[in-house]
Structure 1
Amino acid sequence: MSTIKIGIITVSDRASAGVYEDVSGKAIINTLNDYLISDWDDVYKIVPDEQDIIEKAIINMADNEKCCLIVTTGGTGPAKRGVTPEATEAVCDRMIPGFGELMRVESLKYVPTAILSRQTAGLRGSSLIINLPGKPKSIRECLDAVFPAVPYCIDLMDGPFLKCDENVIKPFRPKKK
């Protein structure tokens, strides 16, 4: 069996230009390393807040790199250049709005501005794409909330079996009869 591939896309004009280090993408990698026992490799990219570039990065990770999961960070707020949800919706076959709904509910426990967030999730082929906020603390809070559903979603798409450290995160999988 080949190693599982997970895509991480940081959407940031400044990080893509080298103005500052990408801490958000690294926060996703660190969180997934905490969660997953399965061997996995990241397919990592930093892109500017340009819808066509974001779309191309997602398409490449889903169609060519065969990532079962693609996690984006950044570009989900109301700023004019925040277009990650639009890019995600443009390339997905189907949307799964429950991910964004749960992330906003979780974030509201910490900040009242969570209602401004436009995170979403969708499916492209055999890939699950999840949009996360840009702050590392918020990334972990949101992933802690939604990740229990991720392995089963990937199972349903005939993707690889994601084995988790259940002392850190407990995935939900229905009991087999």
Structure 2
Amino acid sequence: MRGYNGFMFFAVITISDRCSRGEMTDTAGPAVAELLRRQWAEARIETALLPDEEDAIAMLLDQFASDGAALAVTVGGTGLGPRDRTPEATRRVIDREAPGLAEAMRAMGAAQNQFAWLSRGVCGLKGSTLIVNLPGSKRGATESLASILKLLKHGIDVAAGGQGHP
């Protein structure tokens, strides 16, 4: 999938009230962007920081999909807190869920930390854009993403119209 100027492009959106107010520094979003950069050196990676506002999250996900992002990753807002609304925003945007990705991340995470089972993150497709919800902690986000990188490579290719199985 090609976005801006013929290059594959990805979006990393950190969702955090405290980071968006400047009360905390976002470390998880940059760590996720760096992990993606190491796997897809040719990709353009755009980052954003939003508060936990469902409408704003849905609008930005929809915009990145419209702009041709191959992958849009959210970081944060997947827990049980009253302001954690990232999965709801994602479900509003996606056309089809890819539940196996979220299940794989929870299962791999739970092998290290049982609290991974409390993550409500979802994954799915908006057109040919793959959307993945990651936890908000740096460790949780990077370990979750690392656990599905191989799957993402194939999923991005198939979503863009590629054929076959590895």
| Shared fold per TM-score greater than 0.5 | yes
Unpaired runs of 5+ residues, structure 1, are 161-172
Letter in 2 for 1:36: W
Would you say 1:174 and 2:165 are equivalent positions? yes
Say which structure is richer in helix: 2
**Corresponding residue for residue 72 of structure 1:** 74
Whether 1:109 aligns to 2:105 is no
Match of 1:34 in 2: 38
In structure 2, the partner of 1:84 is: 86
- The aligned residue for residue 19 of structure 2 is 15
Q: Distance in 2 between the 1:159 and 1:17 partners?
A: 40
Q: TM-score, structure 2 length as denominator?
A: 0.91
Larger displacement relative to structure 2 (14-23 or 86-95): 14-23
Match of 2:128 in 1: 126
What is the rounded CA distance, in whole Å, between the counterparts of 1:18 and 1:57 in structure 2? 20
SS of equivalent residue, structure 1 residue 20: coil
Taking only aligned residues, the RMSD between alpha carbons, in angstroms, comes to 1.6
How many residue pairs end up in the alignment?
161
CA–CA distance in 1 between the matches of 2:144 and 2:125?
A: 19
Q: TM-score, normalised by structure 1?
A: 0.86
1:49-64 equivalence runs, <5 A: 49-63=52-66
Show structure 2 runs of 5+ residues with no match. none
- Show CA shifts across 1:92-140 (max 9, x none): 0000111111111111111111111111101001100000001111122
